[in-house]
Amino acid sequence: MKQLLLTISLCFCCCQLLGQGYPEDTIGYYHNGIIDYDYKKLKRNKLFEKKLMHLQEKYDSGKTSKEFIRYNDSTFLYTQYYDISPPKKKRRSVNLGKEKEGLVLISHWTTGDTVTTFDAETFEEHWHFDTLLVPIGKWCYFYPHGGYKMQGNYSIDGKEGDWKYYNYRGYVEKTLSYHKNNVVGITNQNIILDKDVKRTEEYLIRDWMISSGKKPLSFNAYKYRGTKEQKKQVNVLYEFKEKDNVLIKRTGKYDDRKEERGTWRLIDFDHFEIELDGEKIIYTIDYIGKYSLHFTLNIPENIYDDKNN
């Protein structure tokens, strides 16, 4: 008759080990060869055997939600996906549908839960800790269309070094510097985030050549971007002059350009008005940096009233 083995699990829940709190950015936890994502629920059903190289989970829709690929004995490449259907386009980003991706480490941090197993025959007991899986090294976060949302590096203590944050069109909005998961510095590449009229004016006063006819209108700095031949093919060029706030709009090819003259003025740090041929138009600046400018015509009708209140 086979002898039965009795296993008794005792769980003691807390959030500290040796008086130290665990990192906020965690992927899940690792328990005696088992992985889970919410230690409070104590679900231990994701087995990570020593020989296991790949683990994949799916949404109810059948699409992949999470994926682990073994990198070495203590590290896995982790990818998390959006529950979306890919667009029917020939050209797709290699990161399309990804939400975030990077390495996870079976760390020394624990949830504080301990599990004791007893062998009914020998009365030997074994103690195990639920060990947190934490991000380590370079990590990338994405928008659903595959463009970068933010990227940077993790140390065992959390975010470390410079983290770049992008807008939906792929331009760097700001850079945050971290040390042990604490922000120690901020640099805004999108000057609009400074909310400073003088700073916006400083960056606006230059020549801008159109790079996209889509909404919002996208421009590149004429002085810094493009070869001489490319600049000769520019169809629209806006020249914001400092003296008397003169605005010159040039349209057409280099050898046959039409020139319009008017004025411009800033209403506030992210709105400006231009007047050409007696017509006044207000624009909203979405992004302005050393090399790029984006603005739209979608302006609230009460823009002047808002500034006077």
Rounded Cα–Cα distance for residues 139 and 70 (Å): 16
pLDDT of residue 94: 85
Residues 298, 304, 308, 309, Cα dihedral to 10°: -50
pLDDT of residue 214: 61
Distances (CA, A) of 66 to 25, 130, 226, 263, 269: 16, 20, 42, 54, 42
pLDDT per residue as tens, the chain (309 positions): 323 222 222 222 233 333 334 455 656 655 555 555 554 443 333 444 555 677 788 888 888 899 888 888 788 899 999 998 776 666 677 899 999 999 998 777 666 665 555 666 776 766 656 667 889 999 999 999 899 999 999 998 899 999 999 998 889 999 999 999 999 999 999 999 999 999 999 999 988 888 766 666 777 777 655 566 666 666 788 889 998 899 888 887 766 778 889 999 999 999 999 998 888 989 899 999 988 898 887 544 444 444 444
End-to-end CA distance of the chain: 88
What domains, with CATH codes, occur in the chain? 16-189 (3.90.930), 194-308 (2.40.128)
Rounded Cα–Cα distance for residues 114 and 31 (Å): 9
Distances (CA, A) of 264 to 195, 212, 303: 19, 21, 16
- Rounded to two decimals, what is the model's pTM? 0.71
Helix (H) or strand (E) holding 179: strand 172-179
DSSP-assigned letters across all residues of 208-247: EEEEE-SSSEEEEETTTSS-HHHHHT-SEEEEE-SGGGEE
Q: Count CB atoms within 10 A of the CB of residue 231.
A: 15
